[in-house]
A and B are shown apart, each in its own frame.
Chain A
C-alpha cells in the first residue's frame, strides 16, 4: 500500500523534529503499544498487543532511521511480526520550514502487510487510511502544542494525554459512517478498526517518528 501526503505542524521545525525523536511520545500515541525503546542511535524496538476479533496476538518489531539530515529529512525502515501477521514499511519524510513559522511535513512511503492482517483486514485499509492519518496527525498536533506550551512556560512537564485506543477507534468509525459505509461493513469496521488503527498509525508514526 502506498501512502503519501503532507501535513502542516503548527510549530518550528526543530521542535517538530525533537518531538519525533521522543520514543515516549510515540509509545503513548500508539494504541496497544507495550514498549518502545531506543536500542541504538536511530534504532528502535517495540512490542505491542493486537487483540481484536479474529485477529489477535503479540506483535514485535524494530525500526531504523536512515539518511538522517537533521532537521530536514530522513528515511524510515521498519517492520514487525507476530501471530496476526507481519508488517514492513519504508518511508521518506521531509520537514520544510514555512514562512509563517509552521513546518510542512511531506511523506511518501510504502507499507506491506501479510498474514491474517492482510487477508482479513487489508481491504478495509484504503477506505480507513485517510481518516486514520488525519486522526493520527491531530494527536501529534496536540502533542506538539503541549510541548511548545511547556517550553514557553519553562516547565519540564508536558501536559499531553494520548487518546486511548477506544477514543481512537471511535473517531475513525465516525468518519467511516460519514462516508456512507453500508451497515454490514460498519459492524465489521468496529472490530477491525483497532487493528487498522495500529497499522496505520504505526506506519504514519514510523514515517514521521524517525524524525
Chain B
C-alpha cells in the first residue's frame, strides 16, 4: 500500500499557476461593454441626510447613471442579519440593526455609501464622485464605548432607547462564591485595540446579466459564495440557479470578506440587470479602510479570584464590545471572547457579561481571531497580574491551573458562536506548555541570559502564554467527488478559497481514498454553477468540515468503483485493491481495470440498466458537526527592547500548536507563520484610530502599519503537538486563526519582563515604541 498523503508536507498544487501569474483575480475579469462603478462615501460620521444632489454628476460625459437609496425604491432594505441573535442564551437582549446597503435617511459612520456612479470608465466614475453634493445636518458623534451608554448620549439608531446593541450574561458556577472564598482578588481595566483585515487584495464584484438565458453571473471576492448567491437571487426575484456566483482567485480574506448585504452584492447586481450591461466594482485601499468591516475594540473590567497558593477560584469579566454602526454579524465576536476567556484553565466559577454598543464607526465583524484574541488577552493578562500580586512565576501559576488531559471532553457551561454549549473535545495543554518552555529555554533565560543582559544595560524579556482556538463550527459543508473517464478525480465544493491551500489539502484527502496521485485530483472551490451547497470560509472550518465531507464522499465513490469492478472482474470486493488509479485482484495483479475505464463503464450509452442504478463514479456528501473542535497551544517569545528608541526585536519565538491531525504540516506551518505575523502586528503595529469626530486617521498604509519581514522573529520554532479529535474520522481540527491569537498577550508579558518595573501592568493590547520608551525611562528612574 502506497504511503498516505494525509500527514505529508507535499508541495501545493496551486503554486505553479499562482507563482507564474496565471491566476485570474477579480480585476482581471473584463467583459465586452463593461461599465465601471465608483461609490460615493460619506465624509461625515453621523448626520441626517437632507438631500443628495447628483445632477451635476449625471451630466458629466461618460457617466451612465447615478443612484442613491431613493432610486432603489422598494428594493432598498436593511440587511438581512447575516448571523441570527443568540436566542438560546437565557435573558440575552439583542437589538438587531442590520447593515443598510446604502444610507437612506441617515449616515451612521464616515465611509458609509451614499451614492453609486456608473460610468464608461473608472476614471470618469471617480471624477463624478466629486460632483455629488451632499446636504446633511451633522449630528453628535458617538465613539466612546462607555459614554455611548450615558443617558444623554446621541443615538446611533433613534428608534432605540439607547446605544445598547446587546446585553448577554453567562455564568458557570458562582462568582460571588469564588469572591467570598478568595484570599486575593485582582481587578483590572483592559483595553483591546482595533485592527483591519487588510487583505493584500481588496474586495470586488463583477456582474453580468444574460437576459436571453435569464442568468446572472457574479464574480465576487466573497468568503461565503452560496449565502451571497442565495441572498442576491432572493431579492432580485430569481431562482438560486439563475444566479451563478464564482470566486475568482482571491488574495486573502481574513474575515471581512464574509460580509454580504453590502452595497456591492445588493446594488451592483441590480444595476447590471437594470442597465443590461456588465458592471465592475473594485474597492480601493482607502475604501477598504473606511468601508470594509474590521474588529477587536473591547473594554474589559476583569477580576480574578485566587487562593494564596495560586489556585484560581473564579473569574469575572464585564466588557463593552464595539459593534460599530450596525450589528449584522450577531454576537459571533463577543461570544467567541466569552468562550475563549476560560478555555485553558480550570476555573470553577465564571461570570461574563457582554455590553455590545452601537457607535458611529465602521461595523465590527470577525477578523482572523474573531473574539478569541480578546478572551485570551484578558485571561493571560489577569494571570500575569495575579502572578505579580502573589509573587509567583507566571509560568508556574499557569502550570498550576491548566486543564489536565483527563479533563476532556469538558463542558464549559458557556454558549458559543454556534449557539451550543462549548465542549472542549480533547487536549493536552501541559504538553504544549512544557514543550514551549523547553524550546524557549525559559529557565536558562531567567537565570542566565536576562541577568547578564541587564548587567550590560540591555532590556530583554520573556513571555509565555497559553491559547485555544475554537474551530470548525457548524452548520455544515458539502462536496461532490467524481472520477472522470481519464481516471482523474474531481472534487467540487462551494467553499471559498483565499489562499488556504485547499487545492492541495482537499486533494490529499480524496487521493488517499481513491488511490490516485494527488496531482491527479482537481479541486473546484466557490462556483455555485458547479456545486450549490455550503456556508462559507470562517471559524477555521474548511479542512475539518469540507475535508470530512470529501473523505466521506470519496469513500462512497471508492465503494462504487469497487462494486463495479467486482462485477466486471467477477471477483468479490474483499479480494480487490485500489491503488495507482487501478482496481486489481490482490493476488492476480495482472487482472485489473483502471478507474477511468470504470468511470466510462458506469455511464452506459446504449442498452439497459438495473433499477435504482446511479450513473457515474460520483458521490456527494455533507458534514455538520454537533459542536466545534478546539485546537490549542502555547506561545513563547523573547524580546529585546532598545532603551534609546523603544524599538523591539523579537529574538526568538517558539509556538507549540495542536490542530489534531495535520493534513499537510507545511500548510499548517504557513497558517501559523501568517497568523503570528498578524498577531505581532496586533500587538505593536496595526491600529485603527478614529479621532474625536469619528474620522478614521489611519486610512492608508502610510499610517496603518504592518510588521515587515524584518520585524519578524530572528528565530521561529514550530512544534506540532497532535491530539486527534474523535469528532471526525480523520481527527482534524482547524488552524487558520491559531497564530493570530496569542501574540499580543505574549508580547505584553515579555515587555513587562524586559522593562522590569515592579508594579508595571500593561492594560492595553497594543504598544508602540514611544510608550515603551517611557516605561523604560520610568524604570531607569526607579
A-side interface residues toward B, CB under 8 Å? 57, 81, 83, 85-86, 88, 112-116, 118-120, 122-123, 188
Contacts and interface: CB of A to CB of B under 8 A. Distances in A.
B692 A118 contact: no
Interface stretch (B333-341, B535-543, B693-701): B693-701
Nearest first, the 8 A-B pairs at minimum CB distance are A115-B43, A119-B699, A118-B695, A83-B130, A114-B43, A112-B693, A85-B43, A114-B695
B691 A118 contact: yes
Contacts of B550: none
B393 interface: no
A115 B702 CA distance: 16
Nearest to B286: A119
Contacts of A118: 43, 110, 691, 693, 695-697
A120 B129 CA distance: 18
A112 B699 contact: no
Contacts of A86: 43-44
A119 B130 contact: no
Contacts of B181: none
Interface of B: 43-45, 110, 129-130, 134, 138, 286, 289-290, 691-693, 695-700, 702-703
A123 B697 contact: yes
User: Chain B binding site: helix, strand, loop or mixed by DSSP?
Assistant: loop
10 contacts: A81-B134, A112-B692, A112-B693, A114-B43, A114-B45, A116-B43, A119-B289, A119-B700, A122-B691, A188-B702
A115 B134 CA distance: 13
Contacts of A112: 691-693, 695
A177 B138 CA distance: 37
Contacts of B44: 86, 114
Given A118-B110, A118-B691, 17 more contacts: A81-B43, A81-B134, A85-B43, A88-B138, A112-B693, A114-B43, A114-B695, A115-B110, A115-B695, A116-B43, A118-B693, A118-B697, A119-B289, A119-B697, A119-B699, A120-B699, A122-B697
A113 B695 contact: yes
A85 B699 CA distance: 14
Nearest to B692: A112
Contacts of A83: 129-130
B196 to A, nearest CB: 13
Nearest to B43: A115
Contacts of B699: 119-120
Contacts of B45: 114
A119 B44 CA distance: 12
Contacts of A122: 691, 695, 697
Contacts of A123: 697, 703
Contacts of A115: 43, 110, 695
A122 B45 CA distance: 16
Given A114-B45, A114-B110, A119 B138 contact: no
A119 B698 CA distance: 6
Point out which of A83, A88, A116, A188 has the most chain B C-beta atoms below 10 A from its C-beta.
Answer: A83
A85 B698 CA distance: 16
A42 B134 CA distance: 26
A88 B47 CA distance: 14
Nearest to B135: A81
B44 to A, nearest CB: 6
Contacts of A113: 695
Contacts of B110: 114-115, 118
B325 to A, nearest CB: 16
Contacts of A120: 699-700
B290 A119 contact: yes
B375 to A, nearest CB: 31
Contacts of B129: 83
A123 B690 CA distance: 11
A57 B699 CA distance: 19
Contacts of A116: 43, 286
Given A114-B45, A122-B691, A57 B697 contact: no
A88 B44 CA distance: 11
A193 to B, nearest CB: 15
Point out which of A85, A115, A188 has the most chain B C-beta atoms below 10 A from its C-beta.
Answer: A115
Contacts of B692: 112
A46 to B, nearest CB: 17
A188 B134 CA distance: 29
Nearest to A114: B43
A114 B289 CA distance: 15
B687 to A, nearest CB: 12
A55 to B, nearest CB: 11
